[in-house]
Chain A
Amino acid sequence: MSLPAREPPPSADASLPLRFDDSDRDLLARAFGSPGDGPRACRLNGEAHRISLVDGFDRLLAWPVLRGVARYDHQERTALRVLRDLRGRAILADEVGLGKTIEAGLVLKEYAVRGLIHRVLVLTPAALTDQWREEMETKFALPFAILRSVRDWDRRPFLIASMDTAKREPHRHAAQARPWDLIVVDEAHRLKNRFSLNWRFVAGLSKKYMLLLTATPVQNDMDELFNLVTLLKPGQLHTYDRFLERYVASPDRRVPMRVSELRGRLRDVMVRNRRGIAFTLPPRRVHSLAVRLSPAERRLYDDVTQFVRDAYWSASGRLPWTARLTLIVLQREIGSSTFAVAETLRRLAQSPLFRSDERERLEDLRQDAAAITSNVKAARLREFLESVDEKVLIFTQYLRTLQYLQGVLEADGHRVAAYHGGLSPAAKDAAVRTFRGDADIFLSTEAGGEGRNLQFARTVVNYDLPWNPLRIEQRIGRVHRLGQDREVHVVNVWAEDTVEANLMELLDRKIHMFELVVGELDLILGNLDQRRSFEDLMMDIWVLRQAEDRRSALRRLGDSLVRARAQYEDAKDVNEAVLGGAEEAASA
């Protein structure tokens, strides 16, 4: 059969040929060889094709499929602008808390729905990989996997990787050897130096679309802005020499020149939404419920801590990774409740990870924990709840603590909606509905995304404190987010002379974390010149044997945090000066 001929690839002088699919031949050969599926099937065939047609980016198609994503004009506008005007290459530079991740998710989903992306790589700081995976899964139904092994580069078309892992061999080579439809870089200010491994790694990736997410494109000097824009669109800000000559006031490289011309050029690559009045969140008020543990609880806490320190510095040498992790869990659980720690003590008392003398100590500790039937923290919480006449969210990290609290609070006559990872999605929905209805307490182990809108409440109780401050931030973010119009109360319950007390010292007194806007904490912690996670830093300090050593280490970390916050505040001012008006046109 002779079919319309296949023309050579298009060039600038030739017209674009309409190529007919090879499968047409098959259909022509098969057609009418059998009676077919009937007229209705034939009509539905046409309907199926018409329904699935894609016609440019006239509007966002993905809204109906998103779960728990509130529609905000600025996010919709941003996504459309990135898709239509910036053609998928953009710096998303919204101020913190305006939803850059949602905007990136929207763009990603729109490309996915239109069949324009099949391989996507999200590069984030290590601490945010889980959060990204969860948000993409729960809100956008995008099945991302986190990079675990070098084989994942082949196996996982939608991949999230920490920048630090991906930029090093063997991952670097594997990532750069494959073409990507879309690259997303979160906290993209880490690409500020074009001679850094980060920058060169991203520049060496082969990609069609790219989104760079950062609230502070400029941190120290204007070079950073040039490097970021050049990564996306080389030449947009001229060559480096010309950029310096034209837009940077010598000798201070932080001061821009010809600002309006510069902003005009930035508009072709950047979208920056500012809060404005509509997006100013109400303030947060922090309340500290510090307690002194009962003698039995104190003894147990100290004994568990002593066991942890002894095992951590065990004479048998460096602990295996799993045992070290177990010790961290143990120390965190005892900070939550005696009920949380009891079960772990029972398990560890039978674990081959520990020597027989250690197992005996663990069994003793278990018995001590089991003998404690009530916790002082819970009593303090009950007192607090008596003084409150509105709905309250209470977070704990552990299911056993949740179960204990549920019993105590229900006995007091509270209507409790319990929410934890063991529930089915439908049961979770039901718990949220109950809380929205007549329950006065939402008792949850999960701080993460899930996309539940709980802004109708405004009081968050941290019954225990995760050592990862971002998890605390996520908890507060459940109510302190766009849509919240009342002052938000954050209540921290913690015991004196514990890891959690140290945490409060650092986060509350040093950097006033509980008063920050959601998203700012990531940036401050990102400024810490530390390769290790915040949890590891806390543990490192806590296991020091001498109290004085612990105090000085804590002081040093506190000073670093204060510097990191100052650095962030400074960067915020610089960005305002350089980009201030750029977004007004961009978001108009």
Chain B
Amino acid sequence: MSETPRLQPFVVEALTDLGAVVSPGESLVWVQAPESVQHDLEVPANFALTFDAERSREFEAELVAPGSYFLERLIAVVARRGQWDAARCAVSGTDWILSGLRESGLGPETGVRSHVNGIEDGLLWLFAFRVTLLSDEKRESFHLVAVSPSERCAWTVDPVRPDQELIPHPSSGNSADLEAGYRLAAESLRSITAGEVDRFRTRSLGLLEEEVRRIFGYFDRTIEGLRESDPDGSQELLRAVMAERDRRLSEAVERFDPKAAASLCSIRAIQVPTARLRLGFPDGSGTDARLDGWSGRLRGLICSNCGGTDGPWRWSPPEGLRCATCAPTPAGSARPRGRPPSDTPRRGMRAGEASARSPRGSRARSRGASAGRRRP
């Protein structure tokens, strides 16, 4: 749960959006709530809020802090609203194309030439997901996944990306597009979180194994000791010890059994200008690409080394176009980050699966998805 300083602007804006009149005072925030808010948040028509527990007795103020009843109610109400929205990206001109190319590492200064074949209105679906990993602890994350239904590809977007350039717009697209988009987004989310989920699983199962080993060790040796000390001893006692062992084991499994869940929080349909580009590289080769004016994601490129589709990009002879992970450093020695890609599948895995655990694998999977070869 986030820091308290972030809470106040959120709470004030959320209450305002719900129709309340909010007047921040010196130490308390005063709220006039319409009936719907009174009902949803279980508050009177006029009440005070405080962000300081020590002041919550003043004017019977509602305390807003992680774990406070009021905040939990408000979050629940706000999360039930705003689950879908349609907007249009209001960028104009063509400057965004140049800056998009620069951010992707393929600006004119790199020697890569670009030709705009046309700008058309494209549709992006933006799916927001909450991912929860649960065993005897909880780890959560929030992800935004953009999907271009026409290009059948998905990519992640910074979850705190400001959306000032978005303006309300009537909904577009159809439900078939939405379903297909969701499937692409879900598959992409699986790839994005695969490493984290796997680490969580390994850790939880490690703890479970340790616990199970200790329980077996203790109870089995205790049973052995009882048998040795009194071979004709009570079977009832032995049964009781075994029953206790089984109970402890199921308790351990209950505690450490890892679970990973994702839930869809909201969907946005964004109409966005999308440029059809022809990129020309210094060696005379070229490729078609697309760039949208909102996410700035350059699509249609493939790393000549790992086959990934994630930028940023670098073009250099003789390697050609490579993603940042695979591109040689300026000195031409070590790779900037990540391990060298390997085509050798892990033991016991099929070739396609092996890649799912490496950065390269997640990109390969996106590429596969975009090529329509993978089914969710």
A→B interface (CB under 8 Å): 1-4, 9-10, 12, 15-21, 23-24, 27-28, 30-32, 35-57, 61-62, 64-68, 83, 87-88, 109, 112-116, 141, 179, 203-204, 206-209, 230, 233-236, 238-242, 425-426, 428-429
- Chain B 346-375, CB-CB to A under 8 Å as 1, else 0, gives 000000000000000000000000000000
* In the complex with contacts A18-B261, A48-B75, A39-B168 CB distance below 8 A: yes
Contacts of B6 in A (CB 8 A): 51
Contacts of A18 in B (CB 8 A): 131, 189-190, 193, 197, 260-262
Q: Once the chains are docked, how many angstroms separate the CA of A36 from the CA of B82?
A: 6
Contacts of A61 in B (CB 8 A): 1, 66-67
Does B86 interact with chain A (Cβ within 8 Å)?
Answer: yes
Contacts of A115 in B (CB 8 A): 138
Contact across chains for B214 and A44 when beta carbons are under 8 A apart: no
Interface of chain B residues 1 through 44 with chain A (CB within 8 A): 1-2, 4, 6-7, 10, 13-14, 17
Contact across chains for B264 and A21 when beta carbons are under 8 A apart: yes
Write the nearest CB–CB distance from A191 to chain B, whole angstroms: 15
Q: Once the chains are docked, how many angstroms separate the CA of A236 from the CA of B251?
A: 16
Contacts of A230 in B (CB 8 A): 218
Write the nearest CB–CB distance from B133 to chain A, whole angstroms: 8
Contacts of B159 in A (CB 8 A): 46, 50
Contacts of B137 in A (CB 8 A): 56-57, 83, 87, 116
Contacts of B319 in A (CB 8 A): none
Contact across chains for B66 and A239 when beta carbons are under 8 A apart: no
Contacts of A45 in B (CB 8 A): 78-79, 81-83, 128, 265-266
Contacts of B58 in A (CB 8 A): 426, 429
Write the nearest CB–CB distance from B234 to chain A, whole angstroms: 14
Q: Once the chains are docked, how many angstroms separate the CA of A120 from the CA of B369?
A: 46
Contact across chains for A3 and B183 when beta carbons are under 8 A apart: yes
Give the segment of B91-99, B113-121, B199-207, B276-284 that binds chain A. Answer: B199-207
* In the complex with contacts A114-B138, A234-B219, A235-B215, A27-B269 CB distance below 8 A: no
Give the segment of B139-147, B288-296, B297-305, B320-328 that binds chain A. Answer: B139-147
Contact across chains for A42 and B201 when beta carbons are under 8 A apart: no
Closest to A230 in B: B218
Contact across chains for B261 and A49 when beta carbons are under 8 A apart: no
Contacts of A44 in B (CB 8 A): 10, 13-14, 17, 78, 81-82
Closest to B179 in A: A1
Contact across chains for A41 and B17 when beta carbons are under 8 A apart: yes
* In the complex with contacts A48-B78, A53-B1, A28-B14 CB distance below 8 A: no
Q: Which of B67, B207, B264 contacts A113 (CB 8 A)?
A: B67
Does B342 interact with chain A (Cβ within 8 Å)?
Answer: no
Q: Other than A36-B86, A44-B10, give 16 A-B pairs with Cβ distance below 8 A.
A: A4-B187, A12-B209, A18-B193, A19-B259, A21-B261, A21-B264, A39-B85, A45-B265, A48-B14, A51-B1, A52-B75, A52-B79, A66-B53, A113-B67, A209-B136, A426-B59
Contact across chains for B257 and A241 when beta carbons are under 8 A apart: no
Contacts of B286 in A (CB 8 A): none
Closest to B77 in A: A48
Write the nearest CB–CB distance from B26 to chain A, whole angstroms: 16
Write the nearest CB–CB distance from A208 to chain B, whole angstroms: 5
Contacts of B175 in A (CB 8 A): 28, 32
A–B complex contacts, Cβ < 8 Å, 12 sampled? A3-B183, A4-B187, A12-B205, A23-B263, A28-B264, A44-B78, A48-B79, A65-B66, A87-B207, A113-B1, A206-B251, A208-B254
Write the nearest CB–CB distance from B307 to chain A, whole angstroms: 22
Contact across chains for B57 and A429 when beta carbons are under 8 A apart: yes
Q: Which of A42, A116, A207 contacts B266 (CB 8 A)?
A: A42
Q: Once the chains are docked, how many angstroms separate the CA of A541 from the CA of B183?
A: 78
Contacts of B13 in A (CB 8 A): 40, 44
Contacts of B52 in A (CB 8 A): 64
- Chain B 223-261, CB-CB to A under 8 Å as 1, else 0, gives 001000000000000000000100110010011011111
Q: Which of A16, A49, A208 contacts B197 (CB 8 A)?
A: A16
- Enumerate the 10 nearest inter-chain pairs by beta-carbon distance, A residue then B residue, closest first: A41-B82, A235-B218, A113-B67, A45-B82, A21-B263, A64-B65, A42-B85, A16-B201, A42-B82, A65-B65
Q: Which of B1, B86, B178, B255 contacts A54 (CB 8 A)?
A: B1
Q: Which of B168, B193, B267 contacts A31 (CB 8 A)?
A: B267
Contact across chains for A46 and B265 when beta carbons are under 8 A apart: yes
Contacts of B110 in A (CB 8 A): none
Q: Once the chains are docked, how many angstroms separate the CA of A115 from the CA of B138?
A: 9
Q: Once the chains are docked, how many angstroms separate the CA of A39 from the CA of B89?
A: 12
Q: Once the chains are docked, how many angstroms separate the CA of A16 from the CA of B205?
A: 11
B→A interface (CB under 8 Å): 1-2, 4, 6-7, 10, 13-14, 17, 51-54, 56-60, 63, 65-69, 74-75, 78-79, 81-87, 128, 130-131, 136-142, 144, 159-160, 163, 166-168, 171, 173, 175, 178-179, 182-183, 186-187, 189-190, 193, 197-198, 200-201, 205, 207, 209, 214-215, 217-219, 221-222, 225, 244, 247-248, 251, 254-255, 257-269, 376
Contact across chains for B57 and A426 when beta carbons are under 8 A apart: yes
Contact across chains for B130 and A41 when beta carbons are under 8 A apart: no
Q: Once the chains are docked, how many angstroms separate the CA of A115 from the CA of B140?
A: 12
Q: Which of A16, A53, A62, A64 contacts B200 (CB 8 A)?
A: A16
Contact across chains for B138 and A65 when beta carbons are under 8 A apart: no
Write the nearest CB–CB distance from B142 to chain A, whole angstroms: 5
Contact across chains for A49 and B79 when beta carbons are under 8 A apart: yes
Q: Once the chains are docked, how many angstroms separate the CA of A45 from the CA of B205?
A: 34
Q: Once the chains are docked, how many angstroms separate the CA of A565 from the CA of B147?
A: 72
Write the nearest CB–CB distance from B122 to chain A, whole angstroms: 17
Contacts of A49 in B (CB 8 A): 79, 128, 130, 142, 265
Closest to A84 in B: B137
Write the nearest CB–CB distance from A398 to chain B, whole angstroms: 25
Contact across chains for B68 and A65 when beta carbons are under 8 A apart: yes
Contact across chains for B54 and A31 when beta carbons are under 8 A apart: no
* In the complex with contacts A21-B263, A28-B264, A36-B84 CB distance below 8 A: yes
Q: Once the chains are docked, how many angstroms separate the CA of A303 from the CA of B263?
A: 74
Contact across chains for A239 and B171 when beta carbons are under 8 A apart: no
Contact across chains for B217 and A235 when beta carbons are under 8 A apart: yes
Write the nearest CB–CB distance from A108 to chain B, whole angstroms: 11
Write the nearest CB–CB distance from B125 to chain A, whole angstroms: 10
Write the nearest CB–CB distance from B258 to chain A, whole angstroms: 6
Q: Which of A17, A31, A88 contacts B178 (CB 8 A)?
A: A31
* In the complex with contacts A1-B179, A19-B259, A203-B244, A47-B83 CB distance below 8 A: no
Closest to A66 in B: B53
Contact across chains for B260 and A208 when beta carbons are under 8 A apart: no
Closest to A22 in B: B263
Contacts of A55 in B (CB 8 A): 139-141
Contacts of B10 in A (CB 8 A): 44, 47-48, 51
Q: Once the chains are docked, how many angstroms separate the CA of A28 from the CA of B186?
A: 13
Closest to A203 in B: B244
Write the nearest CB–CB distance from A11 to chain B, whole angstroms: 9
Write the nearest CB–CB distance from B309 to chain A, whole angstroms: 21
Q: Once the chains are docked, how many angstroms separate the CA of A28 from the CA of B218?
A: 51
Q: Which of A10, A24, A87 contacts B201 (CB 8 A)?
A: A10
Closest to B61 in A: A426
Q: Once the chains are docked, how many angstroms separate the CA of A114 from the CA of B58?
A: 28
Contacts of B51 in A (CB 8 A): 64
Closest to A9 in B: B257
Q: Once the chains are docked, how many angstroms separate the CA of A15 from the CA of B268?
A: 31
> Could you say which of B78, B128, B141, B175 has the most chain A C-beta atoms within 10 Å of its C-beta?
B78
Contacts of B265 in A (CB 8 A): 45-46, 49
Write the nearest CB–CB distance from B72 to chain A, whole angstroms: 8
Contacts of A24 in B (CB 8 A): 182, 263-264
Contact across chains for B225 and A52 when beta carbons are under 8 A apart: no
Closest to A52 in B: B75
Closest to A241 in B: B225
Contact across chains for B66 and A62 when beta carbons are under 8 A apart: yes
Closest to B79 in A: A48
Contact across chains for A27 and B264 when beta carbons are under 8 A apart: yes
Write the nearest CB–CB distance from A104 to chain B, whole angstroms: 16
Contacts of A206 in B (CB 8 A): 247, 251
